Amino acid sequence: MQAILFYIFAALTLAGAIGVVASRNIVRAAVQLLLALLGVAALYFLLGAEFLAAVQLVIYVGGTLVLIIFGVMLTARASQKLLNPSRGEQIAGLVSAVVLLVALIASIVTTRFPDQPAPLGRYSLQALGQDLLGDYLLPFELASLLLLAVMIGAAYLAKKRPHAKGEV
């Protein structure tokens, strides 16, 4: 059962990812990215990380992806045709990507990894909360600081300035 679910979700994720690579239309690529992110969220469920799956759905699918689609719509006048890669760029990218993929898969296959999940003694959500406000309290607070800085910085950057062109 777990194997069937894994293959279904893996196929969903990879279909989305390959769609993002192959799509010539940026709006279609965004929709394919949605598919890939949903697949990853489902894989988190399979890996026993329910909270992370929910966070993935809320923040990635509900936040980041909506932001990206807004960005696509706000820059919609940009010509699509000019932005497609040339044949040479495609081949160079494909070659380096395949080389990296072969190297990664070779090193994964030749290493022995544990096949059985390690049993978790504690309830995962409770343990995650305790870790976040215990061992990881400082990074947790720093993340909130970062988000505040990003909020102010992004709002300032995206503000429309009347004479931006002359100042460049």
Q: Which residues within the stretch 12-31 sit at the binding site for other proteins (CB under 8 A)?
A: 13-14, 17-18, 20-21, 26, 29-30
**Residue 14 CB, nearest distance to other proteins (Å)?**
6
Query: SS3 for 65?
Result: helix
Q: DSSP of 12-45, one letter per residue? A: HHHHHHHHHHH-SSHHHHHHHHHHHHHHHHHHHH
Gyration radius of the chain's alpha carbons:
21
Q: According to CB under 8 A, which residues from 118 to 157 bind other proteins?
A: 118-122, 124, 127-128, 131-132, 136, 139, 143, 146-147, 150-151, 153-155, 157
Residue count, binding to other proteins (CB under 8 A): 90
Q: According to CB under 8 A, which residues from 28 to 67 bind other proteins?
A: 29-30, 33, 36-37, 40, 43-44, 46-49, 51-52, 55-56, 59-60, 63-64, 67
| Burial degree of 1 (CB within 10 A; 0-12, 13-18, 19+) | exposed
